[in-house]
Amino acid sequence: MASSSPTFCKLKGQNLVYAVTACCSIGFMLFGYDLGFMGGLTTSPEFLQQFGHPSPSLIGFLVSAYEVGAFFGAAITFTLGDRFGRKPYVIGGSIVVIVGSVISAASYGVAQFLVGRVVAGVGLGFMTTVIPVWMAECARPKNRGRMMAMQLSTLISGLIIANWLDYGMSFYPGSVQWRFPCAFPILLCIMVCVFLPFLPESPRYLANKGEHDRAANNLAALRGDHAYTAAIAEEIKEIQYAIAVEHNEAGSWSDVFKDHGISGSTRIAIGFAANAFQQFSGVNVISSLGPYVFQNSIGLSHRDALLVAGGLQVFYFLSSLIPWFIVDKAGRRRLFILGSAGMGTCMMLSAIFVGIGTKGLGYAAVVVLYLFQTFFTLGWQSNMWIYPPEILPLKLRSRGNAIAVVSQWLWTFLIVEITPILITNIKYKSYIVFAVLNFVTIPIVYFTFPETCGLTLEAVDLLFADRDGKRPSIFRVVRDSRKKEYLAEIEATLRERAEARSEARVEGRVERNELGREEDEKEESGSEKFDVSHIDKV
Q: Which of 385, 377, 413 is nearest to 401 (CA)?
A: 385
For 167, 412, 413, 473, the CA distances from 396, given in Å and listed in that order, are: 43, 24, 25, 20
Residue 225 Cα distances to 138, 222, 231, 528, angstroms: 14, 8, 8, 51
The pLDDT value given to residue 86: 86
Q: How many Å apart are CA 60 and CA 29, to the nearest integer?
A: 22
- Asked whether residue 124 is domain-assigned, the answer is yes
Interatomic CA distance for residues 164 and 309, integer angstroms: 9
Pure H helices in 170-263: 176-183, 185-195, 203-208, 212-223, 230-247
pLDDT given for residue 518 in this prediction: 54
Model confidence, pTM: 0.67
What pLDDT shows up at residue 532?
Answer: 28
**What CATH number has the domain bearing residue 340?**
1.20.1250.20
Domain-located, residue 482: no
**Distance separating alpha carbons of residues 412 and 171, to the nearest angstrom:** 30
Residue by residue, DSSP assigns 474-527 as HHHHHHHHT-HHHHHHHHHHHHHHHHHHHHHHHHHHHHHHHHHHHHHHHHHHHH
Angle at 87 between CA 23 and CA 159, to 5 degrees: 40
C-alpha–C-alpha distance, residues 42 and 48, integer Å: 7
Number of neighbours of residue 344 by Cβ within 10 angstroms:
23
What's the CA angle centered on 76, arms 74 and 77, to 5 degrees?
Answer: 65
Has residue 295 been placed in a domain? yes
- From residue 195, alpha-carbon distances to 25, 43, 90, 123, 331 in Å are 12, 35, 11, 17, 32
Which among 130, 123, 145, 94 has a CA at the least distance from the CA of 405? Answer: 130
SS3 537: helix
- Cα 207 to the chain's mean position, in Å? 21
- Residue 44 domain-assigned? yes
For residue 467, give the DSSP letter.
B
Pick the closest to residue 40 from 62, 55, 65, 57 (CA basis). Answer: 62
The alpha carbon of 110 is separated from its chain's Cα centroid by a whole number of angstroms, namely 31
Instruction: Say if 438 falls within a structural domain.
Output: yes
* CA separation, residue 326 to residues 141, 188, 323, 388 (Å): 15, 29, 5, 19
The neighbouring-strand residues paired with 470 are 467
Number of alpha carbons in the 13 Å side-chain half-sphere of residue 475 = 2
CA distance 72 to 118: 9
Please classify residue 508 by burial: count the beta carbons closer than 10 Å to its beta carbon, then call 0-12 exposed, 13-18 middle and 19+ buried: exposed
In a domain, 308, yes or no: yes
What value does the CA radius of gyration of the chain take, rounded to a whole number of Å? 27
Tally of structural domains, the chain: 1
Examine residue 503 and state whether it is found in any structural domain, yes or no.
no
d(CA 151, CA 320): 10
CB 124 within 8 A of CB 70: yes
Q: Fill in the amino acid letter for 73.
A: G
Asked, for residue 6, whether it belongs to a domain, the answer is: no
Torsion of the alpha carbons at 439, 443, 444 and 447, rounded to the nearest 10:
160
Q: Structural domain of residue 195, as residue ranges?
A: 14-448
* DSSP state, residue 145: H
- Mind listing the pLDDT tens digit of every residue in the chain (538 residues)? 445 678 888 888 889 988 988 888 888 888 888 877 887 787 788 888 888 888 877 887 888 788 889 888 888 887 776 677 888 989 999 999 999 999 999 999 899 999 999 999 999 988 888 888 888 888 887 777 777 778 778 888 888 888 789 888 888 888 898 999 999 999 999 999 998 999 999 898 888 888 888 988 999 999 888 878 888 888 888 888 777 766 664 455 666 677 766 787 888 899 889 988 988 888 876 665 566 667 776 677 777 877 887 788 788 888 888 888 888 888 899 999 999 999 999 989 988 887 887 777 777 888 888 899 899 988 888 787 788 888 888 677 767 877 887 787 788 778 777 777 777 777 778 889 899 999 999 999 999 999 988 888 778 888 888 777 788 889 999 999 988 888 888 888 887 877 776 676 666 554 555 555 555 554 444 433 333 233 233 2
Say how many C-beta atoms besides its own lie within 10 A of residue 530's C-beta.
Answer: 10
Closest CA to 199 of 402, 415, 21: 21
Whole-angstrom Cα distance, residue 17 to residue 431?
A: 40
